[in-house]
Each structure stands twice: as C-alpha cells, then as structure tokens.
Amino acid sequence: MTDTVLSSPTRETVIGFDRPFVVIGERINPTGRKLLAEEMKQGDFSRVESDALAQVAAGAQMLDVNAGIPLADEPAILAQTVQLVQSLVDVPLSIDSSIVEALEAGLSVYRGKALVNSVTGEDEQMERVLPLVARHGAAVVAITNDETGISTDPDVRFEVAKKIVNRAADHGIPYSDIVVDPLVMPIGAMGTAGRQVFHLVRRLRTELQVNTTCGASNVSFGLPNRPAINGAFLAMAIGAGMTSAITNPLEPEITRSIMAADVLAGHDQDCAAWIKANRVPAAEGEGRRRSNRRRPVGT
C-alpha cells in the first residue's frame, strides 16, 4: 500500500498501489524533436507552453520536463523551463536529466516536492544524485541498470533496484520515495520484453513494495500501429501492478486503455470516471473528455 506523494504549491499527485494510474506527460522533451530543441535553445518556449497546457487538459497528473539539448546550457534551460511550466499548470513535475548539475538547477527553482528523473544503480551516480534528492526532500525514479549496463535478466534488474533502495535509505530517503523503472525494451527486438516487465513489476511491488514507472512507448519501437501496442502494454502493466508511466496523454488509444484498465483493476470507484468520460457527447473529443477525469486533490 505504498504511496509516493508529489506536489506543487497548490496540488498533490499520489502514485500508489490502490490509486488511479498516474500519467506523467512525456511531451516536454527535445530528444528527437529537432524543432523544439532549436526553439528552446533560442529561448522560444511557446511550444513548451502549449505542450504543458494540452497534456494537463488531456488528464496528465504530472509532467516530465527535459531540456537535453546538445551544446546548450542544459542546467539554465531546465531551470527556466521548470519555472515556466510551474507558472502555467498546477501538476507536480518530474525533473528529467542525465546531468546532475541540471537536476540540481531544476530542483533549486522547483516549488513543492518534485520527482527527480533519474538515478541509476551506478555507484558514482548514486553518490551524486541521492544526496541531492535527500536535501530537497524530493522523490526519485530509479533506473534498473548499473556499471555493467542493462541486464537482459529481469531478476538482475530487480537486484539493482534493491541496491538503489538500500543506498537511498542510507541517505534518509524512504522506499516510498523511490519509483522504480523496470526498463522497457522494444518487443520487436526481444520477444520476452513484455513478460520481463510484468514479472519484474510484480516482484518490485510484492518484495520491495515500491511504486513503478516506465517510458512506455519504447515497447513498440519499430512496429506499426504503435498506440495499439502501447495501450495494450499499459493495460497489462497495470494488471501486473504498475502504478505510473511517462507516456503521451494526447494519444486517445493510450488514455482510453489506461482508464479502462483502472476500471478493471478496481481503481475507479463505481466506474465513475469511466462513465463520466464516456457520457460526454462524442463531439467534444478524447482530450477534452479526459480533462474531467481527475480533480486536483488539493493541499
């Protein structure tokens, strides 16, 4: 029954075992988005603004914010982006970078309790990121790889997660503030990728009692009709006990599948959210419908 509480100054989002699945909007990320990268580098944040508003309107309970632009001042841009997004929307943020200085810059301007994305099981990285997480009272995404890379054996990835949870405890970070990413491989390259994730999520939930998240879209890399694969994957992951994902809330097939899976997992009391979302006239469109899904919890 683990709850991971994230917050902005005016809203809490809780990732938890018996709660509706938390969608962390993935769009504010220049990786693979050349135009967005160029604009952010030039100081044009108009697309960041529209992505932030659209994702929250579509039901995202959190937003991931990444400013990984080659040859740019990532710490400064990430801090600026975090401030901008917090001025526009009230959902808590996931501050996303592989550069510790950028995480630090983002955290230093963040108001509330952020999710730091991410720490790996590499010793040097843990010793730099975990003190930062502890100092800011944040939560953190733990990625299940270490110095040896990503193991293709999910039970080895489980041990990496366990190592991070233990190390975090040494820094005073409780397991309830660790959200483990079991790492999702493309199913087209590795036929066992789905089963691995489901197996690992079950172990993480029952044995380590931690919440989980993932970059869901990776599973369908290289395949046709990716939203259908992503939607089924998320439903199956929810069935296995996954509690959040970094994904695209603007994709109707994905949000519909998550909402249906929440109903079936017993996380949508009296099917109220489902009935409400599916009763609104079709003309309103999926995004608008989903915007009614979950109200701010308030603080």
Q: How far is the CB of 63 from its own copies (least distance, A)?
A: 25
Q: How far is the CB of 262 from its own copies (least distance, A)?
A: 9
Side-chain-facing half-sphere of 3: CA atoms under 13 Å: 9
Strand order in the sheet with 62-66: 211-212, 178-181, 139-143, 115-119, 93-96, 62-66, 22-28, 244-247
Host H or E run for residue 39:
helix 34-41
Task: Specify which residues 116 forms β-bridges with.
Answer: 95, 140
**205 DSSP assignment:** I
Q: How far is the CB of 177 from its own copies (least distance, A)?
A: 27
Q: How far is the CB of 274 from its own copies (least distance, A)?
A: 7
Task: Give whichever of 50 and 192 is closer to its own copies, judged by the CB atom.
Answer: 192
Task: Give whichever of 6 and 245 is closer to its own copies, judged by the CB atom.
Answer: 245
Task: Give whichever of 23 and 238 is closer to its own copies, judged by the CB atom.
Answer: 238
Task: Give whichever of 114 and 229 is closer to its own copies, judged by the CB atom.
Answer: 229
Q: How far is the CB of 54 from its own copies (least distance, A)?
A: 22
| 3-state secondary structure at position 234 | helix
Binding site for its own copies (CB under 8 A): 187-188, 191-195, 198, 219, 223-225, 228-229, 231-233, 235-236, 238-240, 256-257, 260-261, 263-266, 269-271, 274-275, 278-279
Length of the chain, in residues = 299
